[in-house]
A and B are shown apart, each in its own frame.
Chain A
Amino acid sequence: MAQMLMGTKLGMTRVFNDQGISLPCTVIAMAPNVVTQIRTPEKDGYAAIQVAFDDIKPRNSTQSLIAHDHKAGTTPKRHHREFRVSEAELKNYTLGQTLTVAAFEAIAYVDVVGTSKGKGFQGTMKRHHFKGMFASHGTERKHRSPGSIGSLCSNRGFGGGLKKGKRMSGHMGDVRRTCRSLDVVRIDAENNLLLVKGTVPGSVRKMVMVSNAARLYKSKARKQEALTKGK
């Protein structure tokens, strides 16, 4: 897996590109990430890099985490995440090394992972895009209801319950979501800023994880192929 870095979502703006086209952009502040642990196949059974991000007061951290960060020669951090690397790549990283947004310099598309905004308990129309019922034609007090949820024995075999995973009302949002293949619009290495095209899950000031796009959408893959051929 490619390098993953953490950042803070700052909000959205618009950027005019070379052709004068207006692009909706999300600004992500990528303060330097610190390598806090190197996982090796000999010791841990797999090769990975742990990075930490976002300073916190020591009193808000724990003794063990403070010591863990101290080993890497850094101040207490809020978030610790791992990303897998191949064994050969392990030697590129050292404990306490800082990784900056410059790592994405040559990359056209990134995946962004975040925690979506919590929406609370929501009905089926908002949560699953059900159509609801008629507005009129005799419908009374059930305009937004889901309608029939099927008979009791619909999971095949033993009856008595509904099919597992039946879409109903319930808690919506506040889950990990990935936005795939977002265009990198601009990288500001000086101010540690990354601008990606489009929206990113979660609210402002929340942590997001940015990595090289794992698998491009078909149209973007074709576009990139055409670009590399042109070169």
Chain B
Amino acid sequence: MAIQAILDQINSKSLKTDLPIMDIGDTINVHCRIVEGNKERIQIFQGVLISRSGRGIEEMIGVRRVVEETGVERIFPINSPKIAVIEVVRRGNVRRAKLYYLRARSGKSRRIIDRRRGLKHVAGIKLAGQD
């Protein structure tokens, strides 16, 4: 077997198949599993998806949120078992693949336009207002 095929086979067990379709600029909820002693609980990190890098098992997402005018960014390996669920809250209309410019923005200019229309290219997602 070719080398890449063997590596893919090893990775296939830990690859998630239930990830939502998410684009840069979307607001997402990342449900993180947090272990405290013997107990496990879920903490939700909500923010804007500002970057995506890597392929397959290496894929990472950057999520930015603003807490009391302080920016907080976390980078998650999306295939990690420590991430229970990722859900898309709102779709944003942006033109960049990396939204690092948001770091320099504040106030109204930090907002991202909601993409209610023009969703036609995303398969399996209903348009707003449709049943």
Q: Write the residues of chain A forming the contact surface with B, with a CB cutoff of 8 angstroms.
A: 10-11, 13-16, 19-20, 22, 27, 29, 188, 191, 193, 195, 204-205
Contacts and interface: CB of A to CB of B under 8 A. Distances in A.
Contacts of B79: 16
Nearest to B33: A20
A108 to B, nearest CB: 20
Contacts of A191: 6, 9
Nearest to A18: B81
B6 A16 contact: no
Interface of B: 3, 6-7, 9-11, 14, 33, 35, 57-58, 77, 79-82
Contacts of A16: 14, 79-81
Nearest to B6: A10
B6 A14 contact: no
Contact of A15 (B6, B14, B33, B82): B14
A14 B82 contact: no
Contacts of A15: 10, 14
A53 B24 CA distance: 49
A204 to B, nearest CB: 7
A10 B82 CA distance: 27
B6 A27 contact: yes
A97 B6 CA distance: 26
Contacts of B11: 13
Contacts of B6: 10, 27, 29, 191, 193
11 contacts: A13-B7, A16-B14, A16-B79, A16-B80, A16-B81, A20-B82, A22-B77, A27-B6, A29-B6, A191-B6, A195-B10
Given A14-B57, A14-B58, A27 B10 contact: yes
Which 4 pairs show the lowest CB-CB distances between chains A and B? A20-B82, A20-B81, A10-B3, A13-B7
A11 B7 contact: yes
A209 to B, nearest CB: 19
Contacts of B82: 20
B10 A193 contact: yes
Contacts of A27: 6-7, 10
B20 to A, nearest CB: 20
Which of B3, B9, B35, B79 has the most C-beta atoms of chain A within 10 angstroms of its own C-beta? B3
A29 B2 CA distance: 12
A14 B80 CA distance: 10
Contacts of B77: 14, 22
Contacts of B33: 20
A168 to B, nearest CB: 38
Contacts of B81: 16, 20
Given A13-B57, A20-B33, 8 more contacts: A10-B6, A11-B3, A16-B81, A20-B81, A20-B82, A191-B6, A195-B10, A205-B3
A11 to B, nearest CB: 6
